């Protein structure tokens, strides 16, 4: 498409961001009463809800129970009105199923699963509005919901996407940049130990370019982590101070 420059000559992207700039992140933990942990997260125009139930007794077939670790049950669903064209099925289509498996694999790697043998943890993610980076927003929201539920994890899991446009690695791509046919790299990392839990790449990218993109994404993940961690810690401190006050009468 002419006239649609993903990266202008001055080095700005379509929505006016710099290549290494993230979209605005807003979030709130503990929004729902019914769930054991919940979180709402906005990354630009992508809005995601996550709810965590458990650990609880295994539901459904008991044969799924593992004697040495907890069973993690994920469901990724997109509201039918979340995309420009109406989605026929909110879940159960191939893309959602793929996303569900990816989420499950990601969180299997970071939750301390051996602590709750023969039980189950449910992670439900609902995308309310989608503008690219659904997986990333889902992972970040689910991480916050797990923190809210008080489930022990090795570290935060932070996901971020990136691409390589006009010889420049860009971070946190939106729907337009995603759908323009360029390459896309998605990473989920443990920001404190800098380990990669999940890595996915679509379409062609030169071998030499992979590592700058990954570095850029890693930097993006660290930034997201800083944003989330700061607020989480603040809230925790406030809560602790309040509890102390209550305890002392």
Q: Are strands 119-129 and 158-165 parallel, antiparallel or unpaired?
A: unpaired
Closer to another protein by Cβ: residue 46 or 216? 46
User: Quick check: 74 and 157 in contact, CB under 8 A?
Assistant: no
C-alpha to C-alpha distance for 51 and 2, rounded to whole angstroms: 42
* Binding letters toward another protein, positions 28-57, x by CB under 8 A: ---xxxxx---------x-x-x-x-x--x-
Considering only residues 86, 204, 206, 244, which one is a binding residue for another protein as defined by CB under 8 A? Answer: 86
Establish if 59 lies at the interface with another protein (CB under 8 A).
yes
Establish if 126 lies at the interface with another protein (CB under 8 A).
yes
Establish if 83 lies at the interface with another protein (CB under 8 A).
yes
C-alpha to C-alpha distance for 96 and 75, rounded to whole angstroms: 8
Closer to another protein by Cβ: residue 105 or 175? 175
C-alpha to C-alpha distance for 27 and 47, rounded to whole angstroms: 10
Establish if 94 lies at the interface with another protein (CB under 8 A).
no
Q: Where do the DSSP E strands lie in 3-118?
A: 25-29, 37-43, 46-57, 71-78
C-alpha to C-alpha distance for 96 and 167, rounded to whole angstroms: 32
Closer to another protein by Cβ: residue 90 or 212? 90
Which helix (H) or strand (E) segment holds residue 196: the answer is strand 195-202
Q: Which of residues 164-223 bind another protein (CB under 8 A)?
A: none
Closer to another protein by Cβ: residue 97 or 237? 97
Establish if 79 lies at the interface with another protein (CB under 8 A).
yes
Which helix (H) or strand (E) segment holds residue 124: the answer is strand 119-129
Per CB under 8 A, residues contacting another protein are 31-35, 45, 47, 49, 51, 53, 56, 59-60, 75, 77, 79-84, 86, 90, 122, 124, 126, 128-131
């Amino acid at each position: 498409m002419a006239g649609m420059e993903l990266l202008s000559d001055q080095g700005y992207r379509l929505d006016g961001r710099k290549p290494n700039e993230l979209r605005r992140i807003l979030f709130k933990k503990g929004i729902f009463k019914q769930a054991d942990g919940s979180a709402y997260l906005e990354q630009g125009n992508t809005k995601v809800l996550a709810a965590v139930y458990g650990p609880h007794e295994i539901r459904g077939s008991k044969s799924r129970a593992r004697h040495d670790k907890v069973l993690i049950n994920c469901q990724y669903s997109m509201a039918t009105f979340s995309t420009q064209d109406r989605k026929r099925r909110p879940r159960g289509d191939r893309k959602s199923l793929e996303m569900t498996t990816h989420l499950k694999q990601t969180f299997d790697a970071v939750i301390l699963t051996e602590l709750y043998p023969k039980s189950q943890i449910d992670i439900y993610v609902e995308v309310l509005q989608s503008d690219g980076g659904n997986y990333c927003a889902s992972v970040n929201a689910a991480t916050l919901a797990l923190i809210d539920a008080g489930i022990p994890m090795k570290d935060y899991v932070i996901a971020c996407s990136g691409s390589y446009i006009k010889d420049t690695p860009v971070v946190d791509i939106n729907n337009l940049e995603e759908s323009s046919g360029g390459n896309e790299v998605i990473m989920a990392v443990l920001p404190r130990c800098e380990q990669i839990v999940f890595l996915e790449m679509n379409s062609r990218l030169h071998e030499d370019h992979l590592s700058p993109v990954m570095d850029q994404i890693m930097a993006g993940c660290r930034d997201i982590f800083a944003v989330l961690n700061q607020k989480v810690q603040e809230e925790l401190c406030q809560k602790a101070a309040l509890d102390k006050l209550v305890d002392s009468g």
